[in-house]
Structures are given as structure tokens and as C-alpha cells.
Amino acid sequence: MESAVAAINERLRGFFPERLGLRIVEAAPDRVVAEIDVTPELCTVPGIMHGGAIMAFADTLGAVGTSLNLPPAHGTTTIESKTNFFGPGAEGTTVRGECTALHRGKKTMAWQTRVLGADGRLVAVVTQTQMVLEPRRTPQESLAAMFEGLDEAATKSLLASLERGGAALYRRLAESASDAARPALLEAAVREEANAELLERS
């Protein structure tokens, strides 16, 4: 676990959590624990930890917890967060966030963070929902995905539709193209139409 904690703290280096002074001290797929020192920069008057800093602290823990459950190349973002405040986080003390999983699904995950003061008293409870983001596909990968699971007839039909769509795009480009480029664009449109007809006949 120590290596995982070190890796997460290194990953957060240079970003907002480091500016907050957040330190991950435990990290597992169902529980993340962190600490943060209540410095004057994180306070509102009179020397009380700002509610926004508490929320950002907890939000980071939920995101870290989600990241420990993600499939390769997936990402996450917060889509909902609710905070109840119960007491102050005093300047000059260290508060602790204990984040536990409420739900770990394929599309969303929910986490609850209990923020505790140095005396162990409850400062806040933050409940948040994280969306699981699929890896970004290249245009080629997105196009190929359209054909997944199709039989031969459906594949030819879809491909023919795309060929006709391409022909329409070539013609649209030709309308605003230079005199030198217009013939080649119109010729490409004819090829696309011919490809569509071939697919429809086969």
C-alpha cells in the first residue's frame, strides 16, 4: 500500500491538491484517507477552514478512490457533490478525510468522505458521484466501432450510406473550392457514389 500511496501523491504533485497541502496516507480500492494542515491560506475569518477548501479536499479523495477502480485508460469526473457541515476545522490543526465507497459501478461510482478535526469531531460529510469516462477514441476507432456486431448485409448497407454521405461532402466542398481544385473534388464525389452503388448491388 505504501507504494500506491507514494505513487498517488506523486501524481497529484504540481496540481491543485498539492496547493491545498493534501497528503494521501492510505489508499485502497474501497477506502482512501488523507490529511491536510489548516493554514491561514485555507481559512475564512476567524481562523476557520473555508467550506470550499473542505469540499475540494473531499472531492479529491473521491476522485482518487474512483481512479483506483478504473479499467485501463479510463478517466473520471465529478458529476454531483453534496456537503453537510457540522463543525469547524481550526487554523493550525490537521484535519483528516476518510473516504469510503458507497457504490462502484461500471458507469458511476459514489463515495462518502467524513472530514474529522484534530479532536476527532466531525467537521463535514461529503457525498459525491463520479462518472467513469471511457478512453477517447480516434476518428478511425469511432468509425470502426460503428460496424461492431453487424452482419455482412448490415455492414454493406452502412458502408454504402457512408459512401453517399462522403459524396455529398465532396460536392459541398466543391461549391466553395477554387477552379483548380473543383474538378478533383467532383471526381471524388462520383467515386464515392460508384462505391455505394457497388455495395448495394453486391
Provide CATH code, domain 2-133. 3.10.129.10
Neighbour count for residue 2 (Cβ, 10 Å): 8
- The CA–CA distances, whole Å, from 7 to 44, 131, 132 equal 32, 23, 21
34: nearest Cα among 117, 120, 127, 99? 99
Q: What is the pLDDT along the chain (202 residues), one digit of tens a residue?
A: 678 899 999 999 999 999 999 999 999 999 999 999 999 999 998 899 999 999 999 999 999 999 999 999 999 999 999 999 999 999 999 999 999 999 999 999 999 999 999 999 999 999 999 999 998 888 888 888 899 999 999 999 999 999 999 999 999 999 999 999 999 999 999 999 999 999 999 8
User: Distance between CA atoms of 5 and 24, rounded to whole angstroms?
Assistant: 6
Render pLDDT for 57-104 as a digit per residue (tens, 0 to 9): 999 999 999 999 999 999 999 999 999 999 999 999 999 999 999 999
Extents of the domains making up the chain: 2-133, 139-201
The position carrying cell 473531499 is 58
Quick one: pLDDT at residue 141? 85
125: nearest Cα among 77, 47, 78, 61? 61
Quick one: pLDDT at residue 99? 98
User: Distance between CA atoms of 72 and 52, rounded to whole angstroms?
Assistant: 31
User: Distance between CA atoms of 18 and 23, rounded to whole angstroms?
Assistant: 8
Quick one: pLDDT at residue 1? 63
Which DSSP string do the residues of 54-94 spell out, in sequence order? HHHHHHHHHHHHHHTTPPTT-EEEEEEEEEEE-S--BTTSE
pTM of the predicted model as reported, rounded to 2 decimal places: 0.72
Quick one: pLDDT at residue 161? 95
32: nearest Cα among 98, 125, 104? 98
User: Distance between CA atoms of 202 and 197, rounded to whole angstroms?
Assistant: 9
